[in-house]
Amino acid sequence: MPFELHTPLSTALDATSARTLERAFGMTTVADLLGHYPRRYADPGELTPIRDLPIGETVTIVAEVLSSNVRRMRNKPGAMLEVVIGDGVGRMSLTFFAKKAGQAEWRQKELAVGRRGVFSGKVGMFRETVQFAHPQYELFDDVDAAQRRADARRNVPIPIYPATSAVQSWQIAKMVVRVLDDLGEVPDPLPEPLRVAEGLLTARAALEGIHRPRQRSDIDPAVRTLRVHEALTLQAALLQQREQVRALTATPRSAASDGLLERFDSTLPFALTPDQQAVGAQIAVDLAADRPMNRLVQGEVGSGKTLVALRAMLQVAESGGQAALIAPTEVLAGQHLRSITKMLGPQLAPELMPTLLTGQMSAPERRKAALRVAAGQALIVIGTHALLADKTTFADLALVVVDEQHRFGVEQREALRAKGTAPHALVLTATPIPRTVAMTVFGDLDTSVIRSMPAGRAGIQSHVAPLSEHPYWWQRVWERAAEEIAGGRQVFAVCAAIDTSKDSVEAGDAPPPDAEGRGPRWGVVQLDEALATHPRLSQVRRAVLHGKMPAEQKDAVMQAFARGEIDLLIATTVIEVGVDVPNASTMIILDADRFGVSQLHQLRGRVGRGQHAGLCLLVTEAEPGSPARDRVEAVAATLDGFELAEVDLELRGEGDVLGASQSGVRSSLRLLRVVKDAGLIARAREIAAGILAEDPTLERHPGLRATIDRRVTDEDRAALGKN
């Protein structure tokens, strides 16, 4: 009986192979194995270079046996076989130990001089020679024994699969061939007319072409077909998710004449920016509809997203609806409470009763806050993950606001929404998202963008302080900080670690080394100690802030800084988002090359928020031309977060931009690349939208429905939003 894609590997293969694949790669079905695509192809006629092999990594190469030698062990029974293989440019040795000399001699005959094959193992060094110890290998056909078969295979690419020490590439290849030989019908995600019109292979032909191509020209059409399948599956799943939300019935929340929103707007001492007005109008229409809003608002740091969200909260509050704002940290939640209360003013704040609810509050405080929320007295509720607790209930949850979406997953957003009856959802992010990533990751949300900045901002200047070329600039950085403080302004100094002492590193509390094996030079602890002896900064009011401090202490420090009682705040990235101190003029980022582009941009956005010009000093020891230095230079070159998002994508690749937590996205994006395949993704979205418009439940498209069910699980759907 032929296999199907959902057939368990324990049925398709022997039990040992199935267990090994599950342990090594989490594979359980035939589809999982066939979705483990080759990472490259070797050519039997061209030997793979040896001289560039990375020490310590498990690799697979194609090489030729050059010599072999069996030596008996001196002090114990057995023998050692040393085989030298080469590629015409470099050489390496293979070492095999055998308990009996006869075993070594048998292997020596098998690895005869002139034989070619695929060799795999962990690259090591012994006496300045690259070697594999006990490698796995598979030799090509013996030309003398099967000349014609060897000639036929000469141009057949050899698939090289991502492998582990437990499962080698050719072992995977053999399993794939075994499964393909017995594979039955493979459903096509695309209907036949559309498949032909798009110039794609059948799903079965694409799997054959990628796993056992007969020639190089078979590979590209197979890869293109499977990329379209991935894009179509993902976009159809996202569009389905969006339609599921739209199908719900929500309570319309219209703004009333002379209502809370109109009263609030009349008290604003400034005019909304054009983008705030436009996005606010979109949200107002969404909230007045009888289906839930599901909108993402992207906005530069300091562009006024919180004000836009507050106006939405006021609109739902007019009908007694509650709004819940979930923030990623205690510091940010407390900051939101204070800024929202201040914006509402003494007239509106008592009516809306903004209430904080976090896990770090004392039990009596939390009970009191929870009672206000449950009774409907608190029309604006601000909190952290404590809002998701089963004990937290709402009287009439009308609007969910998620701040800094990249810190939360869809499942958390939905857990909060489940506390109301189809409440509206507003997702905020100050991390600009490239269009292709937004389409791929946030395709279930309507998107708005705030680009214009409020008037009265003095702007920010950014400079790189490259200590590798100018070590004396270190002193100038701190002199500059002292000058700002002397002028009555405040300074942030951000470190990549809390503590970089030997004890902290050995305990595993310090960040891991970078690609060059270097850890961060400066921790909060070390910088505070160093500045305690600085001629000018030792006398200023300094404080430290990091994630391991108790919540009350963190909040107290941040409030003191906001009140101007601290001149110099030495912190980790706990101050990355949401901290608003208009008097803070200078941001000094140490080991700047340890941060990502979006992180640097976020940190920089903490200054220049008032009448004083902002200054950002990016201190780095990274060498010119290195990827780490390029990141820092890119941030210094522009203040446009959307431009930086594209740069970040180019520098790092979408794998890192989407993040390791993107289990669903990463499992779906096996071949798809959101930058290179932007056009293909856009086309796939058009196709998916057309199919779903005619057939929302995919009853007439069983191939696509089966692919979505198989490839996009509930967990994957949840992970789609974790950027």
**Cβ-contact 87, 50 below 8 angstroms:** yes
Encode pLDDT of 373-390 as tens digits.
Answer: 999 999 999 998 888 888
Among all chains, which residue has been given the structure tokens 């608003």?
580
Pairwise pLDDT comparison (240 vs 313), residue with the higher score: 313
Q: What's residue 149's pLDDT? A: 45
Instruction: Please state which CATH number belongs to domain 44-154.
Output: 2.40.50.140
Residue 543: partners with Cβ closer than 8 Å, 6 or more residues away: 557, 560, 561, 566, 568, 569, 570
Q: Would the pLDDT of 87 be above 70?
A: yes
The 3-state secondary structure of 313-374, one letter per residue: HHHHHCCCCEEEEECCCHHHHHHHHHHHHHHHHHHHHHHHCCEEECCCCCHHHHHHHHHHHH
Q: What is the mean pLDDT of the chain?
A: 83
pLDDT-derived band at 457, boundaries 50, 70, 90: low
pLDDT-derived band at 188, boundaries 50, 70, 90: very high
Encode pLDDT of 11-49 as tens digits.
Answer: 999 999 999 999 989 899 999 999 999 988 877 655 557
Please give the share of the chain, as a percent, with pLDDT higher than 70.
Answer: 85
Q: What's residue 151's pLDDT? A: 47
Among all chains, which residue has been given the structure tokens 């080991």?
591
pLDDT-derived band at 602, boundaries 50, 70, 90: confident
The 3-state secondary structure of 221-287, one letter per residue: HHHHHHHHHHHHHHHHHHHHHHHHHHCCCCCCCCCCCCCHHHHHHHHCCCCCCHHHHHHHHHHHHHH
Question: Can you spell out the DSSP letters for 532-556?
Answer: TT-TTTTTS-EEEE-TTS-HHHHHH
Phi-psi region of 31 (alpha: psi -120 to 50; beta: other; left: phi over 0): alpha
635-639: average pLDDT: 88
Strands 397-403 and 424-429 come out as parallel
Q: What's residue 167's pLDDT? A: 85
Least confident range of 142-146, 305-309, 527-531:
142-146
Encode pLDDT of 669-704 as tens digits.
Answer: 678 776 677 788 889 989 999 999 999 989 999 999
Q: CA 336 to CA 353: how far, in whole Å? A: 14
Pairwise pLDDT comparison (419 vs 493), residue with the higher score: 493
Q: CA 480 to CA 502: how far, in whole Å? A: 30
Please give the share of the chain, as a percent, with pLDDT higher than 90.
Answer: 42
Among all chains, which residue has been given the structure tokens 């509106």?
348
Q: How far is CA 307 from CA 261, 342, 552, in A?
A: 12, 11, 26
Cβ atoms within 10 A of the Cβ of 660, count? 9
Encode pLDDT of 221-232 as tens digits.
Answer: 999 999 999 889
Q: Given CATH 3.40.50.970, say whether it is the number of domain 260-450.
A: no
pLDDT-derived band at 516, boundaries 50, 70, 90: low
Q: CA 634 to CA 628: how far, in whole Å? A: 10
Q: CA 174 to CA 219: how far, in whole Å? A: 18
434-445: average pLDDT: 67
Encode pLDDT of 151-167 as tens digits.
Answer: 455 567 888 888 887 78
Q: Would the pLDDT of 440 be above 80?
A: no
**Cβ-contact 403, 332 below 8 angstroms:** yes
Q: Would the pLDDT of 630 be above 50?
A: yes
Among all chains, which residue has been given the structure tokens 């705040």?
569
Q: What's residue 15's pLDDT? A: 92
What CATH topology corresponds to 460-643? Rossmann fold (3.40.50)
Angle between helices 219-246 and 678-694 (to 10 degrees): 50
**Surface-to-core class of residue 681, CB atoms within 10 Å of its CB (0-12 exposed, 13-18 middle, 19+ buried):** buried
Least confident range of 200-204, 455-459, 561-565, 582-586:
455-459
Q: What's residue 722's pLDDT? A: 36
* CA–CA–CA angle 2, 6, 8 (5° rounding): 80
**Cβ-contact 437, 658 below 8 angstroms:** yes
Decide if 260-450 and 460-643 have a common fold: yes
pTM of the complete model: 0.63
282-286: average pLDDT: 96
Provide the residue type at 665 as one letter.
V
Domain ranges for the chain: 44-154, 186-244, 260-450, 460-643
Cβ atoms within 10 A of the Cβ of 120, count? 20
* CA–CA–CA angle 143, 144, 150 (5° rounding): 25
124-133: average pLDDT: 83
Residue 714: partners with Cβ closer than 8 Å, 6 or more residues away: none
Provide the residue type at 607 as one letter.
V
pLDDT-derived band at 439, boundaries 50, 70, 90: low
Q: Which range has the top average pLDDT, 84-88, 199-203, 557-561?
A: 199-203
Burial profile 64-102: b = 16 or more Cβ within 10 angstroms, e = fewer: bbeebebeeeeeeeebebbbbbebeebbbbbbbebeebe
Q: CA 589 to CA 573: how far, in whole Å? A: 10
Q: Would the pLDDT of 519 be above 80?
A: no
**Cβ-contact 579, 554 below 8 angstroms:** no
SS3 417: helix
Encode pLDDT of 522-560 as tens digits.
Answer: 999 999 999 999 999 999 999 999 988 887 888 889 889
Write out the H or E segment, with its range, that includes residue 220.
helix 219-246
Encode pLDDT of 333-358 as tens digits.
Answer: 888 899 899 999 999 999 999 999 98
- Rg of the chain's alpha carbons, rounded to an integer? 30
Q: What's residue 659's pLDDT? A: 35
Q: CA 109 to CA 555: how far, in whole Å? A: 73
Question: Can you spell out the DSSP letters for 378-412?
Answer: -SEEEESGGGGSTT---SSEEEEEEESGGGS-HHH
Q: Would the pLDDT of 465 be above 90?
A: yes
* CA–CA–CA angle 197, 202, 203 (5° rounding): 130
Question: Can you spell out the DSSP letters for 632-675?
Answer: HHHHHH---HHHHHHHHHHHH-HHHHH-TT-HHHHHH-SS--TT
Q: Would the pLDDT of 74 be above 80?
A: no
**Cβ-contact 283, 295 below 8 angstroms:** yes
What are 23's two structure tokens? 């342990």
